[in-house]
Amino acid sequence: MESIITNNVSDHQTEQFNNTSIINHIHEETNKHIYPCENNNDNESSTKLTDDDELIAKLDILLIDNSLDSNIYFHSYQSEKEMSSIISLISSTLSEPYSIYTYRYFIHNWPDLCILCSDRQTNDLIGAIVSKLDLHKNTLRRGYIAMLAIKKDYRRQKIASKLVLRSIREMIKRGCDEIVLEAEVSNDSALNLYENLGFLREKRLYHYYLNGVDAFRLKLWLK
């Protein structure tokens, strides 16, 4: 697992650049034409509430696991003071550059979905997950994992999985229907991590990244 566990937000970047020449202001909720082939048949999800509770209970149990170093602890985003360390952690591991506005867009709007992992002793930031949850096509509560990064020395300890699980738990509590993200086709460690949790490769995104590499759109269907 030498390679970095990352996935990039350029989803919106590339998909929306499509329209830049004509429209400058695209509101998120009007992205209908951007995701053309999704459909939601909710006829089989009548037992929604109990399902969610069940999932949350399952997650709670999973997250109790104490194999981790006791100095490592998880917490959600508190204040702008943490911003610079988040940015430096993430920008050192992700290839594509994000402006401060991108970070603020996610973190200020969904501070609870920005979950951090730090070392109690050194007070260093070890890992971070940045995600959001909003309405897709006015009907679907779609969670989106924008960034995930773990400091090099702390990898292979399942910290990334823990961060993702915590993020999933927060999203389920908020009534999430599905969670999506993108990952490079060659990023085996990220693909493994997400697929082991139940994310499926929904589609392939041709030439998705600026470096011309394809990506997979991964999706975890909760309903």
Partner 1 sequence: MQETIGDTTYDWTDATSHFADLCRHLPIGEVVRDADFTLFEAMTALELMDPKMDGGMSIKHHFQEQKQGNRILTLKQLIDKQLLKITKFTSSELIYLFDQLLSTFHMWLDGHSLALTLFTCVYLHDVTIIDDSHLRTICFTFIKLVDYIRERILLKAGLFEEEDFSGTLTYNFPFYRDFKEQTCLTDLKKSEDELNKRLRSLKHQTELDQVDINATQQLIYRIRFLRYFFGLTVKFNEANEKTGEQTYLNTEEISKYLKQIDEMLQLIRPSFIIENETTPTDDNSQLNISQTLLTDISRSFDPYYNYRQLPPAFNRFIRQLIFPSFVYKSLVNICQQLRKMLEINDKRTLKQSFEFFLEYSTHEKPSLFIRSLLLLSYLPSVQGCLLSSRKIFGQISFAEQVKCEIRSFIVPPLLTLKSISIDNETLSCSENFFQRACVPFSNLFYSLCNNHARTREKLSNLLEEFSVLQDESEKLDQWLHKYLIQQIVQANLSTANAQTLLLIEKTSYFFQFILNWTLLIMEYYLLMGFDLSLYSKRELYDVYFYFAQIILFTHINVYKTSKNILNTTVPFLVQLNQKQQTNKNQINNQFIQQMNSLIQHNSNDDPLAELTNENNATQKKTKRKNPNVLVATNNEYHEQELLLIHGHFAMSTAMHRCLKALDIERRLKFSSNDSNYFLRDEIRYRHRFLPFANLCAPPYMPHTDFLHIQHLSDNRYTASELYQDAINNFSQAKTYFETYLNRITTSKQYQQQTFNRTFTTGFTSLIDAESYIRIAKTNGIVLKLLLGGHKPDVKIDFDFSLHAHYPTLKL
- Chain residues binding partner 1 by CB under 8 A are 9-10, 12-18, 20-21, 25-28, 36-37, 39, 41, 44, 55, 58, 62, 79-81, 83, 96-102, 104-105, 108, 161, 165, 168, 185, 195-208, 210, 214, 216, 219-223
Token pair belonging to 190: 């990220």
CA–CA distance from 118 to each of 35, 65, 76, 161, 163 (Å)? 36, 17, 10, 15, 12
Return d(Cα 86, Cα 136) in angstroms, integer.
27
Query: Is the Cβ of residue 3 or residue 71 nearer to partner 1 in the bound state?
Result: 3
Decide if 181 contacts 67 (C-beta within 8 A).
no
Rounded Cα distance between 51 and 46, Å, is: 9
Q: In angstroms, what is the minimal distance from the CB of 4 to partner 1?
A: 17
- Please state the separation of Cα 219 from the chain's center in Å: 11
Q: In sequence order, what are the residues at sequence separation of 6 or more whose Cβ sits closer than 8 angstroms to the Cβ of residue 137?
A: 29, 31, 32, 35, 38
Q: Which is nearer to partner 1, 20 or 138 (CB)?
A: 20
Closest contact distance (angstroms) between CB of 43 and partner 1 is: 10
14 vs 76, beta carbon nearer partner 1: 14
Contact 146, 131 (CB under 8 A): yes
Q: In this complex, which beta carbon is closest to partner 1, that of residue 71 or of residue 96? A: 96
CA angle at residue 195 from 46 to 198, to 5 degrees? 15
Nearer to partner 1, 81 or 153 (CB): 81
With respect to partner 1, which residue has the nearer C-beta, 53 or 214? 214
Which CB, 82 or 127, lies closer to partner 1? 82
